[in-house]
Amino acid sequence: MTSAAAGRRVTKGCVTMSDHPAHRPRPRSRRVVTGVVAGTALGLTGLLGVTMTASVSGAATPATPAGWKTVWSDDFAGASGSLPSSSNWLFDIGTSYPGGAANWGTGEIAAHTNNPANVSLDGSGNLRITPVRDSAGKWTSARIESQRTDFRPPAGGTLRIEGRLRLPDVSGAAAQGIWPAFWTLGAPFRGVYTNWPSVGEIDIMENVNGGNTVYGTLHCGVAPGGPCNENSGIGGNRADNSPSLQSAFHTYAVEWDRSSSPEQLRWYIDGTQFHSVKSNQVDASTWKQATDHGFFIILNVAVGGGWPGAPTAATASGKPMLVDYVSVMSRGNGTTPPETNPSPANPPVTTPPSGPAPTGSRDAYARIEAESFDSSQGVQVTTADGVKKIGSIGNGDWALFKGVKFGSANANRFVIRAASGAPNGVSGLVEVRLDSRTAAPVGTVSVGSTGGWTSYREVPGGISKATGTHDVYLTFSSGQSTEYVDIDWLRFDRA
């Protein structure tokens, strides 16, 4: 593993390029960034007709500029201590994706949770993601992903993903090992977890060890090496920001422009472009594989890993990254094309197979007790602390619930009440399938340890649109042979 400190640094105007390690769901940790940096300054006042302010927190999402339309946004309004909207976000739990690389593929050491101590609203219009070290020296933090995985430009248009963030207010020895990020992954990654980097990763903002430098990177192709120089990616950065990234809010954005030829990606901080990647910098097949689909958004603060290095006793605990808002905008006259490779969480609208439609009396929008299944494989009905549930669930198990009525309005979300006392690092998927156990999942959530087999959490997930009456299968998939989840109930929602 090559450290950032060992990387060659080349200064171009106000923009500094350095080798910086690559990241996250990959089998190896970051390396060093190389690439061409576009040092063009494009003020957002002229580009989008808005003015960005670096120091004010808790502001509402800015008004949509002329010529653009808002596709999606979250301004994190809500009571202090509450979790972010489950309609917008899902939680990554533990230290890996099911069947994915350990420690999120980066060597980071914090276990991610949905505990408000690690992830919550602050009551002033901000999201807090807070790394915390306990008395035993173990770190927890949080990582959330957008439920939606379909963020992509309209045909011939432009997509802009933007967020306003203040990085953890630490520097020097107190910041050692702290790694905040605002980034995206290609939709085909969700539910598969082994197809990085070909599906594309766009890092909008990364920062390590409290430095005053923002990094932006595209990952694609194959690893190691390949046309995108993995595990490094094609990246650039901007140093010496004023005020510093830790002392004030800044606006970070990436634009994916399909109106230009060649197609290109552009990175901005506070309206100043600091990096770009054009499609002709790699071969056509690599670009297509990396971009011919939607993306989902991720916010997290990692602790440790190949790029920042391990935290020390001097690393400060309890210093949050604050997120004022995240928005997705588009412009252009085209329409968003259908996904050619839908993710398991966002497959096409499901229709029943030919033959008689299922009949039944289960209400999709009421609790469906897990032990009420019609048939199953591998699961057992148990009772613990007065809760009757299905347990002993591991890879390959399933349960069938016949005749679930969704009605005429689309259901687009499901929730399971789950508990897990699985060992650290053990996790798995809970998948929803309609009418056939071998049909493509219409929804998927990842479940790891919740702190014990009687420590229940409501785990939400998005599903493709479902109407009518269906037989619902819960299927369970894990890369480990260990039992990893008990389920009390499930229900569906119209978010």
Q: Is residue 281 domain-shared with residue 396, that is, in the same domain?
A: no
* Res. 54: pLDDT tops 80: no
The mean per-residue pLDDT over the stretch 298-319 comes to: 97
Q: Which domain holds residue 436?
A: 362-493
Last residue of a domain, one of 314, 331, 348: 331
Taking the C-alpha atoms of residue 82 and residue 275, their distance in angstroms, rounded to an integer, is: 36
The mean per-residue pLDDT over the stretch 213-234 comes to: 94
pLDDT in tens, 181-216: 999 999 989 988 889 999 999 999 999 999 999 999
Determine the pLDDT at residue 357: 46
Out of 110-119, 379-388, 473-482, the most confident range is 110-119
Q: Report the domain count for the chain.
A: 2
Q: Is residue 388 domain-shared with residue 283, that is, in the same domain?
A: no
Q: Is residue 284, in this structure, part of any structural domain at all?
A: yes
Closest CA relative to residue 475, chosen from 464, 455, 490: 490
Closest CA relative to residue 329, chosen from 275, 287, 268: 268
Enter the tokens of residue 77: 């309004």
Q: Is residue 311 domain-shared with residue 377, that is, in the same domain?
A: no
Q: Is residue 321 domain-shared with residue 418, that is, in the same domain?
A: no
The mean per-residue pLDDT over the stretch 236-265 comes to: 96
Q: Is residue 436 domain-shared with residue 291, that is, in the same domain?
A: no
Q: Is residue 346, in this structure, part of any structural domain at all?
A: no
pLDDT tier, 425 (very low <50, low <70, confident <90, very high otherwise): low
Q: Is residue 370 domain-shared with residue 453, that is, in the same domain?
A: yes
CATH no. for residue 412? 2.60.120.260
**Per-position b or e across 74-106, b if 16+ CB within 10 A of its CB:** bbbebeeeebbebebbbbbbbbbbbbbbebbbb
Q: Is residue 155, in this structure, part of any structural domain at all?
A: yes
Q: Is residue 341, in this structure, part of any structural domain at all?
A: no
- Label residue 311 exposed, middle or buried (CB < 10 Å: 0-12, 13-18, 19+): buried
Last residue of a domain, one of 285, 312, 331: 331
* Residue 153: cis peptide before it, omega within 30 degrees of 0: no
Q: Is residue 326 domain-shared with residue 371, that is, in the same domain?
A: no
Q: Is residue 281 domain-shared with residue 375, that is, in the same domain?
A: no
pLDDT in tens, 146-190: 999 999 999 999 999 999 999 999 999 999 999 999 999 999 899
Q: Is residue 352, in this structure, part of any structural domain at all?
A: no
Total Cβ atoms within 10 A of residue 219: 31
* Res. 313: pLDDT tops 80: yes
Q: Is residue 261, in this structure, part of any structural domain at all?
A: yes
- Total-model pTM: 0.62
Q: Is residue 321 domain-shared with residue 425, that is, in the same domain?
A: no
In degrees, rounded to 5, the angle at the alpha carbon of residue 237 between the alpha carbons of residues 233 and 240 is: 160
Write down the mean pLDDT value for the chain.
83
Q: Is residue 387 domain-shared with residue 472, that is, in the same domain?
A: yes
Q: Is residue 271 domain-shared with residue 384, that is, in the same domain?
A: no
CATH no. for residue 268? 2.60.120.200
Q: Is residue 178, in this structure, part of any structural domain at all?
A: yes
Q: Is residue 230 domain-shared with residue 369, that is, in the same domain?
A: no
* Res. 264: pLDDT tops 70: yes
Taking the C-alpha atoms of residue 121 and residue 322, their distance in angstroms, rounded to an integer, is: 9
